[in-house]
């Protein structure tokens, strides 16, 4: 039999054969070629696509800025589109040379696998793009919000799982349109119809919600730039939706027409589907490079950004003139007016830098600044009666157990804007559409106020959390990378307080041990434990609840020479290398032993540190807690002796008069749970060492090891 193209007569011959006559059915399928029009669509379109996608793939690999999320998602899309173009090219060339692929042959199954992998990978990456946008803004208060590797892993896993399901159902092979993909059959028609419907609905749900959410959360001052990004996102969303829907619909109708002998022009329908396939391959990469940030970087790469650079330099020159004028104004104007001018300059400088980041990063930054303003407003309302004049709804949840009491504050954005000094947070807090209500839950406020009152001589929370003084830190909040856990840290402008996010599990631990914690703190005034001054949950519509603690900053200065995080463990507790800048990293146990060896302080101070650190670790042991660290800040003393702080509970003068130590115990909200046990044994298995001294240990073992290390570095044996 000679090779031919699909027709209703051929469809009838194919589907008249039953499973017992699969050899005859294969004989017909093996002769089918892709239509001539489709061949040229694929040959020309795939050539253009391969050149375009390969070029962009290389450029994105070369330029790090282009891989800044969501650029890495675009890069993944290019890979699958290259695979898609290759498989279409293989099919088109085989038909052009009059060598149709045989059904169930290795070549056909390989091509079918490429078809599935490329289409699914492209689809999941486009979904990942819209999911990424929403998640980045929704979880903007996570210090480490990098989920890139999870997104790529998720796309690969979902693609492979779907491929395995399709192959296990024997739905792949030679199709009646001459291509090797999902076969035309009664079962396949039902599966394809259901699959197409689900993919379209999922895409509309995720993509549509993402665009709606981004639009709703755009700050006023970025409205112009936001319109460009929204326009790009909507075009990207609609282009893929229309083309994939059209291609799938036409192919499905053609498949059903062949199966059920409907009176339709099969060749024209398959040619139309091929046209839509090629349009997807060509248009999507072009649309991606029109992302405002991506386009700007590409233009700079190829020399079209000189004019923009000149404009930026002129703006920076103008900004420097403003800065010098502000210095003069400070000596003339009142402090209130000068703070307004300073805030305006900070905002202008921050606006001038937004073009250097993808819009989603800019929006994430603004969202974080917005949340910080609301948090500080909520903390001040909780701490000071001067804000009781505001129309804030206060709910006192009394309890027979004082440790279970709650105080709830409810207020909205416009109350912050109209009442906070100088309206510094207005640019952060005001949104395009509405002013959602903010709910602040203050846990056991009486207890934490009692802890603060014991330190009121060395602590002024109102000054520490003053919005005016903290405004520049709020604008730079997005630069915070947090700790190893990815939790967010905010240091007050005077370095006295830390606002730190905690997980739901850590919140539960605090509230569970609160009675014992409070009694221990009261009975041990010289404890090294970094004290918690407040525990809160912030709730707002369209935003994940945020749990925070306000605690004492052990460092209390930015004049840090070195930082050591000491747990007493030896495994994976060395950071310093030959080229390491020791002032820019947090050093660990082995680093301390190699560099410092001991705490060079008086015998009296050494005894005090050892005594209290041992007592504190015994308390944590009784609460089943691990992972706590002795944090040691080696501070450069100020040249002016009057500026050197007097000796306090956590400040110890070094034998070398140039330095002093600020010492405390931090990170003590971790139970020895199943996860930590799994972590310990996994590391031992990986290293094939049963005696491996991992950080994670039973609370008793952890405390004993910690105490031995403390005795060693204080020379108290």
- Mean pLDDT throughout 312-341? 48
Q: Which two tokens stand for residue 548?
A: 């925070």
Query: Angle of helix 8-16 relative to helix 22-29, nearest 10 degrees?
Result: 160
Q: What is the reported pLDDT for 326?
A: 44
Provide the 10 A C-beta neighbour count for residue 418.
10
Poorest-confidence range of 198-207, 208-217, 316-325, 519-528?
A: 316-325
Regarding predicted confidence, which is higher, 309 or 698? 698
Q: Identify the DSSP state of 316.
A: H
Q: What is the reported pLDDT for 5?
A: 64
Q: Which two tokens stand for residue 534?
A: 């407040």
Strands 651-653 and 659-666: antiparallel
Residue whose C-alpha is closest to residue 591's, from 568, 575, 611: 575
Q: How many residues does the chain have?
A: 717
Q: Quote the mean pLDDT of the chain.
A: 79
Q: DSSP letters along 281-308, please?
A: HHHHHHHHTTSHHHHHHHHHHTT--HHH
Q: What is the reported pLDDT for 35?
A: 82
Asked if pLDDT for residue 628 goes beyond 50, the answer is yes
Q: Which two tokens stand for residue 4?
A: 């031919």
Regarding predicted confidence, which is higher, 435 or 541? 541
Cβ atoms 57, 78 nearer than 8 A: yes
Cβ atoms 697, 627 nearer than 8 A: no
Strand segments, DSSP code E, in 329-446 are 393-397, 406-412, 437-443
pTM: 0.70
Band of residue 334 on the pLDDT scale cut at 50, 70, 90: very low
Q: What is the reported pLDDT for 512?
A: 92
Q: Is 528 exposed, middle or buried (0-12, 13-18, 19+ CB in 10 A)?
A: buried
Tell me the H-state helices in 139-222.
148-168, 186-216
Q: What is the reported pLDDT for 309?
A: 54
Cβ atoms 618, 601 nearer than 8 A: no
Residue whose C-alpha is closest to residue 451's, from 557, 523, 499, 401: 523
- Mean pLDDT throughout 125-136? 90
Residue whose C-alpha is closest to residue 424's, from 338, 510, 502: 338
Q: Is the dihedral of CA 172, 177, 179, 181 positive or negative?
A: negative
Please report where in the chains the tokens 């912030």 appear, as a residue. 538
Percent of the chain scored above 90 by pLDDT?
A: 31
Residue whose C-alpha is closest to residue 351's, from 467, 217, 480, 219: 219
Partners of residue 660 on adjacent β-strands: 635, 653
Asked if pLDDT for residue 55 goes beyond 90, the answer is yes
Q: What is the reported pLDDT for 387?
A: 53
- Mean pLDDT throughout 352-363? 66
Poorest-confidence range of 60-69, 366-375, 536-545?
A: 366-375
Residue whose C-alpha is closest to residue 475's, from 342, 332, 380, 359: 342
Strands 586-587 and 560-566: parallel
Q: Identify the DSSP state of 643.
A: G
Band of residue 166 on the pLDDT scale cut at 50, 70, 90: confident
Q: What is the reported pLDDT for 391?
A: 65
pLDDT digits (tens, 9 = 90+) for 480-520: 555 555 578 888 888 888 988 898 999 999 999 999 999 99
pLDDT digits (tens, 9 = 90+) for 671-708: 887 877 777 778 777 777 777 777 778 899 999 999 99
Q: What is the reported pLDDT for 487?
A: 72
Q: DSSP letters along 46-105, please?
A: HHHHHHHHHHHHHHHHH-GGGGTTTHHHHHHHHHHHHHHHHHHHHHHHHHHTT-PPPTT-
Q: Which two tokens stand for residue 675?
A: 């996860």
Band of residue 184 on the pLDDT scale cut at 50, 70, 90: low
Cβ atoms 402, 446 nearer than 8 A: yes
- Mean pLDDT throughout 177-190? 68
How far, in Å, CA of 354 to CA of 665, rounded?
38
Partners of residue 529 on adjacent β-strands: 665
Q: What is the reported pLDDT for 330?
A: 42
Residue whose C-alpha is closest to residue 475's, from 348, 326, 314: 348
CA dihedral 154, 155, 160, 165 (to 10 degrees): 90
Poorest-confidence range of 31-35, 92-96, 432-436?
A: 432-436
Asked if pLDDT for residue 146 goes beyond 60, the answer is no
How far from 550 is each of 365, 465, 471, 497, 537, CA to CA, in Å? 21, 11, 18, 7, 11
Q: Identify the DSSP state of 219.
A: B
Q: 364: which residues sit within 8 A by CB, 6+ positions away?
A: 136, 137, 140, 145, 478
**Residue 456, Cα to own-chain centre: how many angstroms?**
38
Strand segments, DSSP code E, in 437-559 are 437-443, 489-491, 497-502, 532-540, 543-552
Omega into 547 within 30° of 0, i.e. cis?
no
Asked if pLDDT for residue 383 goes beyond 90, the answer is no
pLDDT digits (tens, 9 = 90+) for 551-587: 989 988 878 899 999 999 888 888 888 777 888 889 9
Cβ atoms 267, 35 nearer than 8 A: yes
Regarding predicted confidence, which is higher, 172 or 331? 172
pLDDT digits (tens, 9 = 90+) for 287-300: 999 988 888 888 88
Q: What is the reported pLDDT for 620?
A: 95
Q: What is the reported pLDDT for 331?
A: 44
Q: Is 449 exposed, middle or buried (0-12, 13-18, 19+ CB in 10 A)?
A: middle
CA end-to-end distance (rounded Å), the chain: 94
Decide: helix, strand or coil at residue 537. strand
Q: What is the reported pLDDT for 306?
A: 54
Regarding predicted confidence, which is higher, 609 or 689? 609
Q: What is the reported pLDDT for 433?
A: 40
How far, in Å, CA of 614 to CA of 137, rounded?
43
Helix (H) or strand (E) holding 173, with range, is: strand 172-174
Band of residue 332 on the pLDDT scale cut at 50, 70, 90: very low
Asked if pLDDT for residue 343 goes beyond 50, the answer is no
How far, in Å, CA of 477 to CA of 364, rounded?
10
Cβ atoms 91, 113 nearer than 8 A: no
Regarding predicted confidence, which is higher, 453 or 61? 61
- Mean pLDDT throughout 583-600? 91
């Amino acid at each position: 039999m000679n090779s031919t193209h699909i027709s209703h007569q051929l469809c009838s011959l194919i589907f008249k054969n039953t499973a017992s006559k699969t050899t005859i059915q294969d004989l017909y399928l093996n002769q089918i070629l892709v239509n001539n029009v489709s061949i040229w669509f694929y040959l020309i379109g795939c050539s253009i696509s391969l050149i375009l996608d390969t070029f962009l793939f290389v450029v994105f690999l070369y330029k790090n800025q282009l891989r800044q999320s969501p650029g890495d998602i675009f890069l993944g899309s290019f890979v699958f589109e290259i695979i898609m173009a290759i498989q279409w090219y293989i099919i088109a060339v085989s038909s052009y040379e009059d060598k149709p692929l045989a059904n169930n042959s290795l070549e056909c199954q390989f091509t079918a696998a490429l078809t599935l992998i490329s289409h699914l990978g492209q689809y999941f990456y486009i979904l990942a793009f819209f999911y990424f946008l929403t998640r980045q803004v929704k979880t903007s208060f996570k210090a480490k919000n990098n989920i890139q590797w999870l997104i790529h892993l998720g796309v690969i896993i979902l693609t492979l799982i779907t491929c395995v399901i399709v192959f296990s159902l024997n739905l792949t092979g030679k199709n009646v349109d001459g291509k090797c993909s999902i076969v035309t059959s009664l079962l396949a028609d039902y599966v394809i119809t259901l699959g197409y419907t689900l993919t379209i609905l999922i895409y509309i749900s995720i993509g549509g919600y993402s665009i709606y959410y981004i639009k709703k959360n755009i700050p006023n001052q970025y409205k112009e730039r936001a319109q460009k990004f929204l326009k790009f996102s909507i075009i990207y969303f609609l282009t893929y939706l229309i083309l994939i829907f059209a291609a799938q619909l036409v192919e499905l109708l053609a498949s059903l027409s062949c199966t059920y002998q409907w009176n339709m022009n099969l060749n024209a329908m398959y040619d139309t589907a091929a046209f839509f396939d090629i349009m997807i391959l060509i248009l999507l990469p072009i649309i991606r490079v029109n992302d405002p940030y991506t386009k700007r970087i590409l233009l700079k790469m190829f020399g079209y950004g000189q004019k923009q650079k000149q404009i930026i330099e002129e703006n920076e020159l103008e900004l420097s003139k403003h800065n010098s004028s502000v210095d003069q104004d400070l000596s003339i104007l009142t402090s209130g007016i000068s703070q307004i001018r300073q805030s305006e300059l900070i905002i202008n400088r921050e606006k001038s830098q937004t073009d250097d980041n993808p819009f989603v990063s800019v929006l994430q930054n603004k969202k974080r600044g917005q949340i910080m303003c609301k948090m500080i407003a909520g903390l001040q309302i909780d701490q000071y009666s001067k804000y009781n004049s505001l129309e804030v709804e206060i709910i006192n949840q009394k309890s027979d157990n004082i440790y279970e009491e709650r105080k709830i504050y409810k207020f909205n954005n416009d109350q912050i804007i109209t009442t906070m000094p100088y309206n510094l947070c207005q640019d952060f807090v005001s949104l395009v559409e509405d002013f959602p209500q903010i709910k602040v839950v203050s846990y056991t406020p009486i207890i934490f106020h009692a802890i603060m009152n014991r330190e009121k001589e060395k602590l002024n929370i109102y000054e520490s959390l003053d919005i005016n003084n903290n405004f520049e830190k709020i604008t730079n909040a997005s630069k915070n990378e947090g700790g190893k856990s990815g939790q967010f840290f905010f240091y007050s402008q005077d370095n006295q307080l830390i606002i730190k996010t905690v997980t739901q599990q850590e919140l539960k631990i605090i509230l569970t041990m609160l009675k014992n914690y409070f009694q221990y703190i009261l009975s041990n005034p010289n404890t090294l434990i970094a004290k918690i001054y407040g525990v809160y949950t912030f709730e707002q519509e369209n935003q994940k609840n945020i749990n925070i603690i306000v605690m004492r900053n052990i460092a209390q200065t930015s004049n840090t020479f070195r930082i050591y995080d000491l747990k007493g463990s030896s495994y994976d507790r060395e950071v310093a290398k030959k080229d390491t800048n020791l002032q820019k990293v947090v050093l660990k146990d082995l680093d301390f032993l190699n560099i410092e060896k001991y705490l060079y302080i008086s015998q009296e101070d050494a005894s005090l540190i050892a005594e209290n650190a041992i007592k504190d670790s015994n308390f944590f042991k009784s609460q089943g807690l691990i992972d706590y660290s002795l944090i040691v800040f080696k501070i450069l003393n100020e040249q002016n002796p009057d500026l050197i702080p007097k000796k306090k509970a956590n400040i110890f003068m070094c034998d070398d008069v140039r330095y002093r130590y600020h010492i405390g115990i931090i990170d003590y909200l971790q139970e020895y749970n199943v996860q930590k046990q799994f972590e310990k044994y996994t590391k031992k298995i990986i290293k094939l060492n049963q005696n491996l001294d991992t950080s994670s240990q039973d609370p008793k073992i952890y405390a004993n090891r910690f105490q031995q290390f403390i005795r060693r570095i204080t020379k108290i044996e």
